[in-house]
Amino acid sequence: MTDFKLIADTEWRKRLSPEEYHVLREAGTEAPHVGEYTNTTTEGVYSCRACGAELFRSTEKFESHCGWPSFFSPLAGDAVIEREDNSLGMRRIEVLCANCESHLGHVFEGEGYDTPTDLRYCINSICLDLEEKPVED
Ligand SMILES: [Zn+2]
């Protein structure tokens, strides 16, 4: 099995489009409201576009109106890594794929959304691939 944490930068550039590389490997952010999954309500599982690991499910996706796909919980606690990000003069929590350590987005807490966790995993569409399939709750 490929150890995605060991893939060289040059290899990532071959595997990903320039836009995907910028967000996934350089912690970029796609423009709001343009991502293909922003308003998607299709039932299925969202995987990491860089490595294919399953990250989020449609059952935890909610309408946040923030302009990016939003989830109140990852598929499993160990599917993602959360770490402090102090870039841009803000204290935020960055969310990365646990399998390949690619950047996915950020998680925000205590915003008052009517969800079970009061967390908003704000994830770039370009970091995800949706596979349509039944999701068991
Ligand atoms: Zn990944």
Query: Domain locations in the chain?
Result: 7-130
Distance, CA 132 to ligand 1 centroid (Å)? 19
Over the stretch 94-120, which tens digit does the pLDDT of each residue have? 999 999 999 999 999 999 999 999 999
> CA separation (Å) from 45 to 7, 11, 12, 72, 132?
25, 26, 23, 14, 7
122 is catalytic: yes
What is the predicted pLDDT for the residue at 137?
Answer: 66
Alpha carbon of 125 to ligand 1 centroid (Å): 13
Q: What is the pLDDT of residues 54-65, one digit of tens each?
A: 999 999 999 999
In the block, residue with structure tokens 């969310």: 95
Secondary structure percentages of the chain, helix, strand, coil, to 5: 25, 30, 45
Report the pLDDT value the prediction gives residue 1, as an integer from 0 to 100: 77
Who contacts 11 (Cβ-Cβ below 8 Å, separation ≥6)? none
Which is the catalytic residue, given 48, 51, 122, 127? Answer: 122
In sequence order, which residues have a C-beta less than 8 Å from that of residue 12 and are 6 or more positions away? 21, 24, 25, 50
Predicted confidence at residue 136, as pLDDT, reads: 78
Residues 61 and 42: their CA atoms lie apart, in Å, by 10
E strand or H helix that includes residue 14 = helix 9-15
Q: Are strands 103-109 and 119-123 parallel, antiparallel or unpaired?
A: antiparallel
Tokens for 102, please give them: 């690619």
DSSP character for 73? S
Q: 7-130: CATH homologous superfamily?
A: Peptide methionine sulfoxide reductase. (2.170.150.20)
Give the pLDDT confidence of 23-61 residue by residue, as tens digits: 999 999 999 999 999 999 999 999 999 999 999 999 999
